[in-house]
Amino acid sequence: MNKYFRFATALAALTLAAGASAATSPPTKNVVLVHGAFADGSGWMAVAKILEKDGFKVSVAQPPETSLEDDVAATNRTIDAMGGPVVLVGHSYGGIIITAAGNNAHVKSLVYVAAFQPDTGESLGSLSAAKPPASSGPKPSPDGFLYLDRADFHADFCADLPAPQADFMALSQVGLSVKAAGAPATTPAWKNKPSFAIVATNDRAINPDLERSMYKRAGSTVTELASSHVAYISHPAEVAAIIERAAR
């Protein structure tokens, strides 16, 4: 009886320990990637492949860039479809999107990749005016959208990419509405959730000093990469590593 009792007690303890371990183990990590102005989600391909290889479930949001409201709604749809906690990542104007969409209850942490990280009342336009970038800047279309001149696109947006790739990105760029560029942030999610940020030190589309000042103000965990504005394309391994750090 004593042997049986000891065996049963040990078995019960092992069962309880296994249950407790399962209950406290971290959930499967989900990552939502958000593109910025003048780009689309296809630029995230290399980062997404690395994350998937490392066991993450990845979705790429496709904000239409028609208004901040529309872009946040599109991102929230993607977040909600993941079915669990999410690391939300934004590039460039995508940082303004995730600053709002990051208030979604599923979002665990935020990653800003050469991105705007606005405080309440700030917009892409106001931040850029405060510390202008080195680029020649976007041009307005007659119907209220901004675009980058194809002649300047390579140097100003993605100088560390091969010319053929840059040329195709220039001709396939997605215009950003003036309405979206002027929309102010209201309730920044980074004030309540951990954030990580990447400064692209050779960025000509956003002033690197603006990136540094925004990220310092927010208390983000900062990494600097010697990259053009499109660090997620030219340095996918480094960017994926920071996203995985945010997931942990």
- DSSP one-letter string for 42-110: GGGHHHHHHHHHTT-EEEEE---SS-HHHHHHHHHHHHHHT-S-EEEEEETTHHHHHHHHTTSTTEEEE
Residues recognised as catalytic: 92
* Assigned token pair, 58: 């990845």
How far is Cα 60 from Cα 44, in angstroms, rounded to an integer?
A: 8
Q: Which CATH architecture has domain 27-247?
A: 3-Layer(aba) Sandwich (3.40)
Tell me which residue of 220, 201, 187, 5 sits closest to 110, measured CA to CA.
Answer: 220
Residues of the chain where predicted confidence (pLDDT) is lower than 50: 1-25, 27
Give me the sign of the Cα torsion angle 29, 32, 33, 36. Answer: negative
* Assigned token pair, 87: 């690391």
Tokens 């102010």, located at residue: 184
Neighbours of 45 (CB within 10 A): 14
How far is Cα 80 from Cα 37, in angstroms, rounded to an integer?
A: 23
Tell me which residue of 161, 165, 124 sits closest to 146, measured CA to CA.
Answer: 124
**pLDDT for residue 92:** 98
Q: What's the one-letter identity of residue 64?
A: P
pLDDT, tens only, 126-168: 999 999 999 999 999 999 999 999 999 999 999 999 999 999 9
139 three-class SS: strand
**pLDDT for residue 190:** 98
* Assigned token pair, 109: 């942490």
**pLDDT for residue 42:** 97
pTM, full prediction: 0.89
Round to the nearest angstrom and report the end-to-end CA distance of the chain. 47
Residues 83, 70, 121: CA angle, nearest 5 degrees: 105
Domain ranges of the chain: 27-247
**pLDDT for residue 91:** 98
**pLDDT for residue 26:** 66
Cβ-based neighbours of 171, under 8 Å, separated by 6 or more: 150
How far is Cα 135 from Cα 101, in angstroms, rounded to an integer?
A: 28
